[in-house]
Every structure is written in structure tokens, then in C-alpha cells.
Amino acid sequence: MAAGVAVGDVVEDFELPDETGTPRRLDGDLLASGPVVLFFYPAALTSGCTLESCRFRDLATSFAEVKATPVGISRDAVPRQKRFADTYGLGFPLLSDPDGAVARRLGARRSYAVGPFLTRRMTFVIDAGRHVLEVIHDEADMHVHADRALEVLRARQS
């Protein structure tokens, strides 16, 4: 696996455009209302990424209960992210990381291409202080990312 962040590390602030083209920063913007569940996916509008993203959408109430915001991120351009968000009514930010800089920094970028998929399917649960609470890496189970993130966030509230 590529070098990146691990549980307990502090994530460096970053700024990327969301699906509307609005610049979004991790610190002071995305983390303003609580923890962020930053999930990297290989490509918008593909079957696995749609299943994973829709799972986050379907659990929106549960994420709101733990005051957490899901945030999707991929190499897709802003217009494709917008189409993805609108097609499936996702309701959370989708960030465009076209050169994979943020993915590389966190360890979600492959050093080799698997077809067109340079981005690993990874999720980082990040608290309001930018500390990593959990890293979830599973390329096959499209539900485990949202489900495990919720487990971690609920356990923190107990």
C-alpha cells in the first residue's frame, strides 16, 4: 500500500472544488460542523462507486445523528461529479482531485494504474481537529465504508 496517513495522524488541510465548482477546504469548511468521512472512489458513475456513494446517501440520517458529513473524492472533473451527484441525489459534497494530489498525500493513490483506476477505494474518518480516527480500505465491499465509519463515530459518542 502507498504511504499515507494512519489512525492518529493529522490530515493536512487541502482545498479542492466540489461538484458545483466551489472551492472547499477541509479545515474551517468541511469540518466546520463536525467530523468528515472522506471517501475516495475510483470513478464517478461506475457501478461500484455508485453503490458505495448511494450507501452514504441512504445513511444520511445516521450520519447527521453523529454530526458527521460524508465527502466523496475522485479524479473526476467537476462536470462529471455534478452529473453523478444530480443523477443519484447524493446530497453531500463530491470533490474533484484531477491530479490525485490529495489522494496521494493520504495514501489513496496507486503507483500503477489498474485500468483507468488510479484511486484506491479508501475512507478516512476525520475528527474536527483533523485527526484520523479510522482508515477503511476495501475494494470489494461497497457498503463497508459507510457502515464502518458509522460504527467508529457512534463508538466515539458512547
* pLDDT given for residue 115 in this prediction: 59
User: Are 30 and 157 a contacting pair, CB within 8 Å?
Assistant: no
Q: Among 11, 49, 103, 118, which one carries the catalytic annotation?
A: 49
Give catalytic status of residue 49 as yes or no. Answer: yes
Q: Which pTM value belongs to this model? A: 0.93
Angle between helices 47-58 and 144-157 (to 10 degrees): 30
Domain annotation covers residue 44: yes
Per-residue pLDDT of the chain (158 residues; tens, 9 = 90+): 446 899 999 999 999 999 999 999 999 899 999 999 999 999 999 999 999 999 999 999 999 999 999 999 999 999 999 999 999 999 999 999 999 999 999 988 877 666 567 788 999 999 999 999 999 998 889 999 999 999 999 999 87
The total number of structural domains that make up the chain: 1
Nearest to 5 by CA among 23, 26, 28: 26
* pLDDT given for residue 158 in this prediction: 76
Domain annotation covers residue 5: no
The parent domain of residue 131 ranges over: 15-157
Domain annotation covers residue 114: yes
Domain annotation covers residue 4: no
Domain annotation covers residue 149: yes
For the record, the C-alpha cell of 34 comes out as 463536525
- Give me the half-sphere count of Cα atoms (radius 13 Å) on the Cβ side of residue 24: 23
Q: What is the CATH number of the domain that holds 84?
A: 3.40.30.10
* pLDDT given for residue 105 in this prediction: 93
User: Are 100 and 75 a contacting pair, CB within 8 Å?
Assistant: yes
